[in-house]
Amino acid sequence: MMQSNPKPQREPNSSDKKRKPAVAVFLSLISIGLGQIYNGELAKGLVLKVIVGLGISLFVLSNYLSSNTLFFLSVFVIMFVVLKAYSVVQAYRKSHEIGSSYTLRQFNRSSVYILLTVIFLALSVILPVVIARAALMDISAHHPFRSPKAMELYLRSYDKRAEEWPVRSETWLVETSFGQTFVRISGPVDAPPLVLLPGASATSLLWAPNIEDLSLFYRAYALDNIYDVGRSVFTQKFKTPGDFTSWLDELFTALGLGDNINLMGLSYGGWLASQYAVRFPGRLHRVVLLAPASTVLPLTSEWALRALVCLIPHRHFSKSFMYWLMEDLVNADEAGRTALEEVVDNAFLGLQCFKPKMLVSPTVLSDEEWRSLKVPTLYLVGENEKIYSPQAAVQRLKRVAPQIIAELIPDAGHDLTVVQAETINKRVLEFLGSCDHQK
């Protein structure tokens, strides 16, 4: 009986290396396409990485060209999940198929895997940043909006809200080297100047609850921050606090305000006011800081996390943040909740319609800066403030800068100019020197 000859076995080679499915899956989880490269499919792995990079870049570009950011975010997330799943499953199956019959390639080295991961990670960051910078500074007819449609949508809403401004006013569009600044002016022409700086994601219209009292005794100049939402149009990127203070100084000169200016800011605008007071004290008469962002104490981690979630382009997250931040207004009455819903709508509309940009992070003034501040300054903060401890803020100012008048406003938080408008108006006018002319 004849016996068949056994199939000759391939001699093992020192370059043979078994492909391990667990390693292939792990590498794919770390970086899409890396498992394919581990299995010898260099071209396929690089193609997967390029697709991811292009997807990130297209998503960033769409973020500057379209108001429908939630749609593009959803598409990108789905694409990423599908590619990640494909990379993991395909790498797992391929490594099983290869088994121990794989011959190592030149690129099958840990150093190559690390290098490719770092290169594509860097490109995934650098390319979107380049795209974002180019898109942000594209001074088109609809700049700084995402599109002509977004511009029309926002300005129609803005102008409708402006009709509710409670006093007579005029509006100017003032040219500076940083772009055009929209200014809403109310009050007697010959009255002392009072400049009003809004908080982040807010406009000159934020001062509607306060302007009637303030404009009785002051020529009030309510600004739309040039590097935020509103009708102002920037032509330069703002990178430092000095950019903001230089812009304000140019603006004050263009408005002919002289060197006896009263300056008041809320939240982010309060921080800007403090920065200007430190750099240009000679131009100021008095300063009012209303719950300024940072400035006295760092922002809490809870605030930072809640604010970060607001970047998700859905109204729910904006509403959740605002309801937490302005709890006193929520609890006030139905009118308060209605007013807050308007605030949410306006903030979310701005997020949808304007090109995204990174605001200059507000900073805390040092003890030396506070002590050196000789401009008469009033600091007001709600007793229920959430951005930092209001009690600790007042205590710090009384300790390091006793020349600053620091007070807590009862039954108020970050909504102090609305929920306690009458109290704020009265206290500000007293401080500015108009107490003898009160209604």
Phi, psi for 337 (deg, rounded to 5): -65, -35
Residue appearing with tokens 């209001």: 390
Assigned token pair, 24: 């292939």
Beta bridge partners of 193: 219
Beta bridge partners of 263: 195, 287
Cis peptide before 144 (omega within 30 of 0): yes
Establish whether 414 is a catalytic residue.
yes
The C-alpha atoms of residue 160 and residue 164 are separated, in whole angstroms, by 8
Assigned token pair, 214: 């303030």
Closest among 388, 356, 398 to 270, alpha carbons compared: 388
Question: Do 212 and 167 meet the contact criterion of CB atoms below 8 Å apart?
Answer: yes
- Single out the catalytic residue among 285, 314, 414, 437: 414
The C-alpha atoms of residue 302 and residue 308 are separated, in whole angstroms, by 10
Residue 290 is classified by DSSP as E
Beta bridge partners of 261: 284
> Which residues, at least 6 apart from 29, have a Cβ–Cβ distance to it below 8 Å?
84, 88
The C-alpha atoms of residue 37 and residue 46 are separated, in whole angstroms, by 8
In terms of Cβ atoms closer than 10 Å to its own Cβ (0-12, 13-18, 19+), residue 46 is middle
How many Cβ atoms are within 10 Å of 111's Cβ, its own excluded? 8
Compute the chain's Rg from CA coordinates. Answer: 29
Q: Residue 90: CA atoms inside 13 Å, Cβ hemisphere, count? A: 20
The C-alpha atoms of residue 394 and residue 381 are separated, in whole angstroms, by 8
∠ at Cα 201 (199, 207), nearest 5°?
45
Closest among 322, 359, 65, 425 to 225, alpha carbons compared: 359
- The whole-angstrom distance between residue 196's C-alpha and the CA centroid of its chain comes to 21
The C-alpha atoms of residue 394 and residue 155 are separated, in whole angstroms, by 39
Give the active site residues: 414
